[in-house]
Structure 1
């Protein structure tokens, strides 16, 4: 049994080594440069990226007049301009190494779709519901990593996934599971109710797509960890621009007022909010891409779960337009999230100590 466990651990190491088959000589030094500290730096990067992402989500939620097509377009143009400029400055080949181009382009296109789904979900459903769905990403990342990266997906990772999801639900208290104590009287017209229900359905479907897309993108990024992070984030911007152009030219979206087309008429306040969301998103994208060069996608997504706690704190303090009530489940949810992060941090040590092939 001990030999079986050792074989599984060796397979995990070999799976990472096979990902380096296209590593360029000048890029090999990145992980070696941080040897001994890569775990710590990658963990800190994943947590920091999560905090920037959740900050952007909270700002968008409390700025309901912002249109998601406008946000996606501004984000794409900004990312292409900034990252493209730095890529040119450092002399990186924008099309990437020949052995990894399909993965680079795929993560870019999926990244654009992910941003759109994220913006739509945050706009149309309660932030608690959206957060609870988003943070099921560690489970999908672990599941897909077993197929795409040959990582072991045993009872330990199943348990960590369950603890995270339980903690997120207890802390976010999604209205779908914890209905509000008092509901406002219904005054809306039946036609408006139908529109709201349709938007909620669309928002929920988009929210369900977020953890799946996030898992696939993080794994693709890990497989391309030898590619300069500027190239990866550049193509993320290309994908976002491609998706925004398609959406802005679909007639039924215009007729249903989904696309406002008022980007040139933004007020100063709207530009400040938009710039904040875009800047936080780009910074988070860069930091997360770098973190995935140092730690595995499964570990990165678990460590990102800290952003749920940041989400709660931001709503309760800086963005308290709607008061966030304290519930007895809040500290329990935070405790479970922290516990899952600690367990994931000691995953290798635990598996070495308890040699069981199903662990």
Structure 2
């Protein structure tokens, strides 16, 4: 007899909880405004390293990985840690919902990079979804040459908003490259080992950048220090839960449930920063979500044939 799943919908619950933990971590990043995004990334790497080392020892996976996969692990670590720095910078430079929506365009870039590097099929539908995502980003950015001086609703200067936008787009692209590399490696590499490269390369990268820009400083109050610890723990918890979700549920439903990241970002922005997103942001979010959802469903249907 066919073995029945112990708990239907468990993977979707893991995904929902993962989205919540990632969103809370991004909220704490936004709250810690006196510490540079690169320094926050460094602290997160330290806290995650303290958790990952015992896990690797317990699972007896080693710290280097299979010889044939080490180059991919290094690339995954560099791209992943740089993506983390960029999204933290975006959270500090622009509204939480705007940065989250732009970062959610990652699936569109994943389709493009998978077509280039993995020779996966890229159809006219994929191109349409890409254009739809670009439209959503434009609605959020509101470039003056299209919208005139309609940027008065921003509390920060438009140049700061633009910096955050480029950082969020950079995060989406590097996160997409990370997903392509993970897809290339498949199940031959333990996920904890993948996270290990993520933190062991992210820490020196963050330290080097901090020395170059001269932004290293210890947090002034105990609350900021608590936020830094929670950012590391919640970020790691979100990574583990989304991995467990993909182990017990198909990638399509998991990707669709991931849209809750945007819902939580909107809720947190209103509740904790008393800042209601503009209709342009809402419209842009709908475009990006529709684009990413369409791309995900199409890949899901193709893989199930």
Q: Distance in 2 between matches of 1:165 and 1:58?
A: 25
Name the SS for the 2:186 alignment partner: coil
Q: Tell me the residue number matched to 1:213.
A: 174
> Partner of 1:287 in structure 2?
241
Distance, in Å, in 1 between the alignment partners of 2:303 and 2:186 is: 25
Match of 2:226 in 1: 272
- How many Å apart are 1:289 and its aligned residue? 4.4
Distance 1:45 1:330, change over 3 A: same
Residues 263-316 of structure 1: per-residue CA shift (max 9 Å, x gap): 4xx422112222222222222233344556678989866653331122112222
Q: 1:333 to 1:245 in 2, by over 3 A?
A: closer
In the TM superposition, residue 204 of structure 1 has moved relative to its aligned partner by 3.9
Matched with 2:201 is 239
Equivalents in 1 of 2:293, 2:13: separation in Å? 12
Larger Rg: 1
Structure 1 unaligned regions, length at least 5:
1-33, 187-192, 354-359
Runs of 5+ consecutive residues of structure 2 not aligned to the other structure: none
Structure 2 counterpart of 1:21 = none
| Deviation sequence 1:192-231 (CA, Å, 0-9, x none) | x8xx94x556544323311110000011122223211111
More helix by share: 2
After superposition, the Cα gap between the structure-2 partners of 1:180 and 1:204, relative to the gap in structure 1 and judged at 3 Å, is: closer
For the residues of structure 2 that align with 1:143 and 1:93, how far apart are their CA atoms?
33
Corresponding position: 1:322 with 2:274: yes
Residue 56 of structure 2 is aligned to residue 95 of structure 1: no
Residues 95 and 53 from structure 1, CA distance in 2 versus in 1: closer, same or farther, beyond 3 angstroms?
same
Go from structure 1 to structure 2 and tell me whether the alpha carbon gap of 1:104 and 1:62 turns closer, same or farther (over 3 Å shift): same
Question: Which whole-Å CA distance do the structure 2 matches of 1:260 and 1:66 have between them?
Answer: 8
Q: Is the 8 A contact 2:79 2:178 kept in 1?
A: yes
Is the aligned partner of 1:341 residue 2:293? yes
Give the structure 2 partner of residue 121 of structure 1. Answer: 90
C-alpha RMSD over aligned residues: 4.0
Q: Which moved more, 1:127-136 or 1:64-73?
A: 127-136
Q: Distance in 1 between matches of 2:78 and 2:46?
A: 15
**Counterpart among 249, 252, 262 of residue 218 in structure 2:** 262
Q: How does 1:111-260 map to 2 (within 5 A)?
A: 111-162=80-131, 173-174=140-141, 176=143, 179=150, 197=159, 202-226=163-187, 227-250=189-212, 253-254=213-214, 259-260=215-216
- Separation (CA, whole Å) in 2 of partners of 1:244 and 1:163: 34
SS of structure 1 residue aligned to 2:275? coil
Q: What is the SS of the residue equivalent to 1:65? A: coil
Between 1:81-90 and 1:122-131, the stretch displaced more is: 122-131
Partners of 1:101 and 1:58 in 2: how far apart? 34
In structure 1, the residue matched to 2:46 is 77
Residues 1:311 and 2:270 aligned together: no
Distance 1:90 1:155 in 2: 44
Shift of 1:351: 9.2
For residues 247 and 131 of structure 1, the distance between their equivalents in structure 2, rounded to whole angstroms, comes to: 24
- Given the two structures, how large is their TM-score scaled by the length of structure 2? 0.77
2:136–2:288 contact (8 Å) kept in structure 1: yes
